[in-house]
Amino acid sequence: MVKVLLTFLLWLVGIMPLFAVRGLGAFIGFVFGNVIRHHRTDAFQALERSMPELSAGERKAIINRMYRLQGVHFVEFIWYSMKGLDRVSQVVEIEGREHADEAFSRGKGMIALTAHIGCFELMPMATAAQGYKLSTIVKKIKDEAVNEVIEKLRSHEGLTFLSSRNAYRDCLKALRRNEAVGMIIDQNMTRDQGIFVDFFGMPACTSPGLAYMAAQSQAPVVPVFIYRKPDGTFRLKVQPMLEPPADRSDEAVYAATRRYNAVIEDAVREAPEQWIWMHRRWNTKPLEGQEIRRRLKKQAG
């Protein structure tokens, strides 16, 4: 039944003009945030703790716009996926491409550090449209029907999506081919998967995988974020590259992960209404007496 509904949604979105697609997305986001109220309390609390300088009215406006944009970006992702890479390249302005080119000039590949900001699903397509080869680590969606549909929408020439499980070696191979690997690290992790590093001044359980991979491969890390512009087009912002950690010691990996979180925090502050405040980023709490830094498990042989 879910697959039938999704297939109908894809057909409907495919025949709609873009202005109608945006209207449908805004309606879906409104229902999610104001009727179903999906994690709405969590979103308000997270924003209040993270940006206490905002007034109650400002926080309400940010959260309301966030839900609408989440709906718009989801439906736009479907629409642009069906229209193809050429259509995506027409609406995504790339700022700082020279930073990516500088990283690739080293011949060790590039690790793209990114987050759930803006219409993040368009980033891989915009990258592929520019001729880059990109492997992105993603979490498999629990519902098989939904996962199958999303995988089809993501299928474009030059793009490879790897399950977060057992993706490490494939990523290293891509880097050795001087390709790009994309990693999203603004998701909450369990205690056995992550390390506690500050994010908006609060300890957030964060994957050390990006830092560990950068240290092993010595590939430069390039922060990349996509922002929606007022006219409905997008700005893909490529920032100057970060040097990889010197080694895989606990201290080096912790310091690098702390820096990556700081970069993401700055990116969120640039457009707070475009980040997923409803995601329970700080859901995993340090145990009482637990050190923020803990021994990292070996992630590769």
Would you write out the chain's pLDDT as a tens digit for each of its 301 residues?
Answer: 667 777 888 888 989 999 999 999 999 999 999 999 999 999 999 999 999 999 999 999 999 999 999 999 999 999 999 999 999 999 999 999 999 999 999 999 999 999 999 999 999 999 999 989 999 888 777 777 777 778 888 888 888 888 777 789 999 999 999 999 999 999 999 998 999 999 999 999 999 999 999 999 999 999 999 999 999 999 999 999 999 999 999 999 999 999 999 999 999 999 999 999 999 999 999 886 554 444 444 444 4
pLDDT at 173: 94
Rounded Cα distance between 203 and 41, Å, is 20
Q: Are 135 and 179 in contact (CB under 8 A)?
A: yes
Residue 203 CA to chain centroid, in angstroms? 19
SS3 readout for the chain:
CHHHHHHHHHHHHHHCCHHHHHHHHHHHHHHHHHHCCCCHHHHHHHHHHHCCCCCHHHHHHHHHHHHHHHHHHHHHHHHHHHHCHHHHHHHEEEECHHHHHHHHCCCCCEEEEECCECCCCHHHHHHHHCCCCEEEEECCCCCHHHHHHHHHHHCCCCEEEEECCCCHHHHHHHHHCCCEEEEECCCCCCCCCCEEEEECCEEEEECCHHHHHHHHHCCCEEEEEEEECCCCCEEEEECCCECCCCCCCHHHHHHHHHHHHHHHHHHHHHCHHHECCCCCCCCCCCCCCCCCCCCCCCCCC
- 158 CB-near residues (< 8 Å, 6+ apart): 127, 128, 131, 132, 133, 134
Backbone angles phi, psi at 196, to 5 degrees: -90, 115
pLDDT at 27: 97
Determine the residue type at 225.
F
> Is the Cα torsion angle 236, 237, 243, 245 positive or negative in sign?
negative
Rounded Cα distance between 152 and 157, Å, is 12
CA angle 97, 102, 106 (to 5 degrees): 145
Q: In the Cβ-directed half-sphere of 191, how many Cα atoms lie within 13 Å?
A: 9
Per-domain residue ranges of the chain:
85-274
pLDDT at 154: 86
Burial class, 295, CB count within 10 angstroms (exposed 0-12 / middle 13-18 / buried 19+): exposed
Rounded Cα distance between 188 and 4, Å, is 31
- 275 CB-near residues (< 8 Å, 6+ apart): 66, 115, 116, 117, 186, 268
Helix 18-30 with 56-83: angle, nearest 10 deg? 140
